[in-house]
Amino acid sequence: MRPTVAGQQGRMDHPRHPADLYETPSEAVEMLLRHVPLQGPVLEPSAGRGAIVAALRRQGVQVRALDLYDHAAEPALGIETGVDFLSMTSMSGCCSIVMNPPFKDAEAHVRHALDLLSDGGTLAALLRLNWIAAKGRADVLKHCHTEIIAGRLKMLPPDARDRGHSGTTDFSWFIMSREAAVKGTRGVRG
């Protein structure tokens, strides 16, 4: 019998980051942009070290980036730190929101984003594939018009050693609008 390797079976082989900082791979953002035409400027409220910001800007998307914590991002990314997204009362001129919210506060971030969105605005939230299935989130499902299945993304905290295994959790981009989706949710493979 072969021994179980750390990282298999859904176990992490590194300590959990205290601020839930897990960087989004650029291929996940490219997946999003293949399926969703974003109206800019885009608000990224949990920017971390700027992985989503950099990937969006490479595609010519104008981004306003914020984070509650200073994660020592490249200064050129212009991430505003010390900003609590959950306390914001407006989108500050942005039309869409793209985020990989902290896991422990994902539901609060999604609900707040839906409250902030203007009519016609788009929310793209990268979440665990089964996130939307919780009974307590059934009311959010009506806002989701597209799910882009991203598969098992490798998202490591900063400075975690990549031990070569693939990601152990399936993720999806949940694309939502303030208005209820009339025709249900369309699922696509990234």
Helix (H) or strand (E) holding 149: strand 144-152
Q: Which two tokens stand for residue 68?
A: 């509650």
Structural domain boundaries in the chain = 20-189
Query: In this predicted model, what pLDDT tens digit does every residue of 118-139 receive, in sequence order?
Result: 989 999 999 999 998 888 998 9
Q: Which residues, including other chains, have CB under 8 Å from residue 80's CB and lie 6 or more apart? A: 64, 65, 66, 67
Average model confidence (pLDDT) across the chain: 84
Highest CATH level, class, for 20-189? alpha beta
Instruction: Return the residue matching tokens 């707040």.
Output: 112
First-to-last alpha carbon distance for the chain, in angstroms, is 35
The neighbouring-strand residues paired with 170 are 152
Query: In this predicted model, what pLDDT tens digit does every residue of 75-132 receive, in sequence order?
Result: 999 999 999 999 999 998 999 999 999 888 999 999 999 999 998 999 999 999 999 8
Give the pLDDT band (50/70/90) at residue 188: confident
Q: Which of 83, 73, 71 is nearest to 43 (CA)?
A: 83
Helix axes 51-58, 26-35, angle to 10 degrees: 50
Distance CA 50, CA 83 (A): 15
Q: Which residues, including other chains, have CB under 8 Å from residue 97's CB and lie 6 or more apart? A: 42, 43, 44, 45, 91, 113, 116, 117, 121, 122, 123, 124, 125
